Amino acid sequence: MDGFIAGPGGSVDFFPVADDVIEYIVAEFPETIPTHIRTSLGVERENRHFDTVIMGRATYDPALQEGITSPYAHLKQYVASLNLTSSPDPDVSLTSDPITTVRGLKQKPGAGIWLAGGGKLAGTLFPEIDELIVKIYPVAAGSGIPLFGTDVTPTRLTLTASTLLDSGTAIMRYTK
């Protein structure tokens, strides 16, 4: 609730992901569930909002460490990285220029583009973000990775929807 998307060192295990949070995500944003756990969560729904995901290298790395080279096989996948020189999977495209990549994707027909994790990437792509969907857990991280890991220009947002779950987690939707 204090604006950090991860704690020191990138830890996220202190966020209380209750059953109602998982149920909400499965019902409202099924495409954000990684391909390898969709069946175990009973996710059989079609993508509702997004057909593309862009993630930073730090978001992609945990999947790679588990041997999962295509974590969102049900989406077009892009990884923003300055260090990866070749993709470990033919279904994952690399970009060293995420702004140009997103601008190009927005010119093509299709559903939305989901920015998966990554405070630095969120800050970089902030000018291209049309809608923010933020989960606010009832916990203070104190320090760590901020929602926007780079400076962003102060921008007024409009709250378009809010959902408060019984666990105390709030899902807030904003547009520019």
Question: CA nearest 33: which of 77, 74, 79, 90?
Answer: 74
What would the mean pLDDT of 16-29 be, rounded to a whole number?
93
Please say if the pLDDT value at position 117 is more than 80. no
- Residue 130: its pLDDT value, please? 95
Question: CA nearest 50: which of 67, 63, 68, 31?
Answer: 31
Name residue 54's amino acid: I
pLDDT band at 46 (very low <50, low <70, confident <90, very high): confident
pLDDT band at 42 (very low <50, low <70, confident <90, very high): confident
pLDDT digits (tens, 9 = 90+) for 158-169: 999 999 999 999
**What is the DSSP secondary structure assignment for residue 48, as one 8-state letter?**
S
pLDDT digits (tens, 9 = 90+) for 51-60: 999 999 989 9
Coil vs helix vs strand at 128: helix
The residue that leads in pLDDT, 152 or 78, is 78
- Residue 144: its pLDDT value, please? 93
pLDDT band at 10 (very low <50, low <70, confident <90, very high): confident
Please say if the pLDDT value at position 127 is more than 90. yes
pLDDT digits (tens, 9 = 90+) for 81-95: 999 989 999 999 999
**What is the DSSP secondary structure assignment for residue 167, as one 8-state letter?**
T
Give the count of beta carbons closer than 10 Å to the beta carbon of residue 156.
Answer: 6
- Residue 121: its pLDDT value, please? 94
- Domains in the chain (CATH in brackets) are 4-175 (3.40.430.10)
- Residue 154: its pLDDT value, please? 93
- Residue 11: its pLDDT value, please? 87
For the chain, the average pLDDT equals: 94
- Residue 8: its pLDDT value, please? 87
